[in-house]
Chain A
Amino acid sequence: MPIVDLVSKHFGNEKARDLEWYRQQGGYQAALKALEMEPEEVTEKVMRSNLRGLGGAGFPTGRKWTFVPKDSGKPNYLAVNADEAEPGTFKDKYIMTWDPHRLIEGIIICCWAVDIHTAYVYIRGEYVRPFERLRDAVRQAYEHGVLGEQVLGKDFQLDVHIHRGAGAYICGEETGLLESLEGKKGWPRLKPPFPALVGAFGCPTVINNVETISHLPNIIEKSGVWFASLGTETSGGSRVFCLSGHVKKPGVYELTMGTPMRELIYEHGGGILDDRPLKAVVPGGSSAPVLTAAECENLPLDFDSLAKAGSMLGSGGVMVLNDSVCMVEALTVVTHFYAHESCGQCTPCREGTGWLDRILHRIVEGGGRMQDIEVLLNIAENMQGTSICALSDAAALPVQSYVTKFKHEFEHHVRHKECDVAGRQPALA
């Protein structure tokens, strides 16, 4: 399956962020087309496309929009999730940096379909340069009547504001994001009510990832059926995979859904760094359960195939580990992140991530006990389904998969107080 360029076409092209140039390439024609359709027709088309959320959860996009009530008497909002903080993920940065007008065009389409007149793009605070690019593009869009009182000359008003985060992974979780947008610390909200009913400022709100929104212009311009046909039966179109870790050519690769993992790593990624054997792959951001090299052998990259393999496609961040990696240390790095980023509202998550972090550090430092391995699994078990948001599960899943699939490494660490991986990475400092 070839590499495609539905949303990555302009990556690296300095001209594309200029509105005039974007328009000359047919840009904003899809938005114009959408504005001439009935909003319901737009949603229908997106439903037919099998577009699924590319922020992590893979929820069908069109269906999500239908949850917004038609007659709440309140304004509706769109929150575009540009927090991009799931470890291993960096695609939205490319879209905002190189093709900001595609995102703006997608926002117009979504807002028309769901009767929204104010959209916020929540961008992580670290992304200063991508923020500047997007801000300039939004300004240009206002100046040229693409946004504002009459979008593209039509009887439709739309404002787009960019809201910068300030360094908190949890604000990528959709309700943490909403709290942060409202000027609070990013403590996720208990659901229900879901944001589609009670979201930003107490009003119905759609939350979609940057890449999800950026696929909309193509779907409107061509067709939902066309988009769906590119992918698998249940995941339409393509997505931008973020390939990193031990590969020769890390980077962004847009591939149709269902492309074999092997193709991504060996053809596009140039194979494993230093030509060492592949050991494991974390396929969908660091929350995704790790897969062994054997499990990756005939694995198509789409939401359902990854779920069947016991992991998830998540955010599209594919991290490759060669045989120099100590899995105990790798898990410690991953777990430390979750312990640091737990917002602390729920006891199983706050305490659980802390315990996991401390036990793992203890094992790495040579002070582990044999029962620690069972304790790790127990804690991870108790952290699932017992908390307000999915961070707790996201921290537990790697623990279960690393420990069960690479148990001998954990046991060796405990028994011999050291690692048995030949030529491994420098130890944690």
Chain B
Amino acid sequence: MRESFEFTRENLAEFEDILRRYPVKRAALLPTLHLVQEQHGWVPAEAESYVSHLLDVPVVDVREVLTFYSLYHRRQPGRHHIRVCMSLSCWLRGATRLKKHLGEKLGVPSGGVSEGGAFSWEAVADCMGACEIAPMVQLDKDYHGNLSNEDLDRLLEETGGPREI
């Protein structure tokens, strides 16, 4: 059974506001998908057709955009999502150690969701623009840097609670 997706009334108003920023409707696609993800935590297939209708964009185009960009989740992530930066400056300062530790700690490889669903994580090749605090991770909206393995443990505990991990 397919569930359906709809914006809340509040988000529908936000969506109208987004539309006003651009001379063509299609341009609202990225921000609209961001809004879906904000509301739902990820972008389920039902939302693709919903957005396609809202914007008069073919659903294949919605899918194409969705899969091109790495920040949209097409499957349900953990309640908290972690990105470990593996780019040059972070690598120079210990990203490999951090990545290994996180994988062991959460018990799943990059791209996975920890048991119980508290955390999902991925190692990313892109520099996150925070090399001054290398090695670093992004946890949900925030950056955390200069991380030892213990710092990372503490961060996980503060965020998810020890039992959740």
A residues near B, CB below 8 A?
Answer: 75, 84-90, 92-93, 124-129, 159, 161, 163-169, 180-186, 201, 242-246, 250-252, 282, 286, 317, 319, 321, 325, 330, 333-334, 336-337, 340-341, 425-429
**Interface flags, B76-103, vs A, CB<8A=1, else 0:** 0000000100111101111011011000
Residue of A nearest to B21 (CB): A161
Q: Which residue of B lies closest to A183 (CB)?
A: B29
Residue positions of B touching A, CB distance < 8 A: 21-24, 26-31, 33-34, 55, 57, 61, 64-65, 68-72, 83, 86-89, 91-94, 96-97, 99-100, 125-134, 138, 141-143
In the assembled complex, the Cα of A90 lies from the Cα of B55 at a distance in Å of 34
Q: Return chain A residues, CB-CB under 8 Å to B29.
A: 183-184
Q: How far is the CB of B126 from chain A (nearest CB, A)?
A: 6
Q: If the complex has contacts A321-B92, A426-B97, are A125 and B142 also in contact, measured as CB distance less than 8 A?
A: no
A-B contact sample (19 more), CB < 8 A, given A184-B29, A330-B92, A333-B87? A87-B87, A90-B132, A93-B130, A125-B69, A126-B138, A163-B21, A166-B72, A167-B69, A168-B69, A185-B69, A201-B27, A245-B92, A250-B133, A286-B88, A333-B88, A340-B125, A340-B126, A341-B125, A425-B96
**A245–B88 touching, CB < 8 Å:** yes
Are A88 and B96 in contact (CB-based, < 8 A)?
A: no
- Is the Cβ of B71 less than 8 Å from the Cβ of A245? no
Which residues of the other chain, A, contact B23 by a CB distance below 8 angstroms? 75, 201
Picked from A90, A165, A169, A426, the residue with its CB within 8 Å of the CB of B130 is A90
Residue of A nearest to B100 (CB): A429
Q: Chain A nearest CB: distance from B68 CB in Å?
A: 4
Q: Which residues of B contact A246 (CB under 8 A)?
A: 92-93
| Alpha-carbon separation in the docked complex, A269 to B23 (Å) | 46
A252-B129 Cα distance, complex, nearest whole Å: 12
Q: Specify which chain A residues have a CB less than 8 angstroms from the CB of B94 in the assembled complex.
A: 426
Q: Are A250 and B131 in contact (CB under 8 A)?
A: yes
Neighbouring B residues of A325 by C-beta, 8 Å = 92
Contact B88 A166 (CB under 8 A): no
User: Which residues of chain A are within 8 angstroms of B128 by Cβ–Cβ distance?
Assistant: 126
Per the bound structure, the CA–CA distance linking A90 and B28 in Å amounts to 27
Query: Which partner residue on chain A sits nearest B87 by CB separation?
Result: A87
CB-CB under 8 A from B24, the residues of chain A are 182-183, 201
Contact B129 A90 (CB under 8 A): yes
> Most chain-B Cβ atoms within 10 A of its Cβ — which of A84, A164, A166, A182?
A166
Q: Using A183-B65, A245-B93, A325-B92 as known contacts, say yes or no to A252 and B126 having CB atoms under 8 A apart.
A: no
A278 to chain B, nearest CB (A): 13
Residues of A within 8 A of B87 (CB): 87, 286, 333, 337
Q: What A residues does B141 contact at CB under 8 A?
A: 128-129
> With A185-B65, A341-B126 in contact, is A88–B89 under 8 Å at CB?
yes
- B-side contacts of A428, CB under 8 Å: 96
A244 touches B68 (CB 8 A): no
Instruction: State how many angstroms separate the Cβ of B66 from the closest Cβ of chain A.
Output: 9
Contacts of B132 in A (CB 8 A): 90, 242-244, 250-252
A85, A92, A427: which contacts B96 (Cβ < 8 A)? A427
14 A–B contact pairs at CB < 8 A?
A87-B87, A87-B126, A89-B127, A92-B129, A164-B31, A166-B72, A167-B126, A169-B126, A182-B24, A201-B27, A244-B132, A286-B127, A325-B92, A426-B94
Among A88, A159, A325, A341, the most chain B Cβ lie within 10 Å of the Cβ of A88
Which are the 4 A-B pairs with shortest beta-carbon distances? A166-B69, A183-B29, A244-B131, A167-B70
Cα A165 to Cα B34 in complex, Å, equals 9
What residues on A are CB-neighbors of B143 within 8 Å?
Answer: 129
Chain A residue contacts of B34, Cβ below 8 A: 125, 164, 166
Which of A87, A159, A165, A425 lies in contact with B69, CB distance below 8 A?
Answer: A165
Q: How far is the CA of A6 from the CA of B69 in the complex (A)?
A: 35
Chain B nearest CB, measured from A141 CB (Å) = 15
Q: Is the CB of A319 within 8 A of B88?
A: yes
Taking a contact as CB atoms under 8 Å apart, the answer to whether B71 and A86 are in contact is no
Closest to B55 in A: A183
* Shortest Cβ distance from B26 into A: residue: A183
* Nearest opposing residue in chain B for A321, CB measure: B92
Identify the closest chain A residue to B126 (Cβ): A169
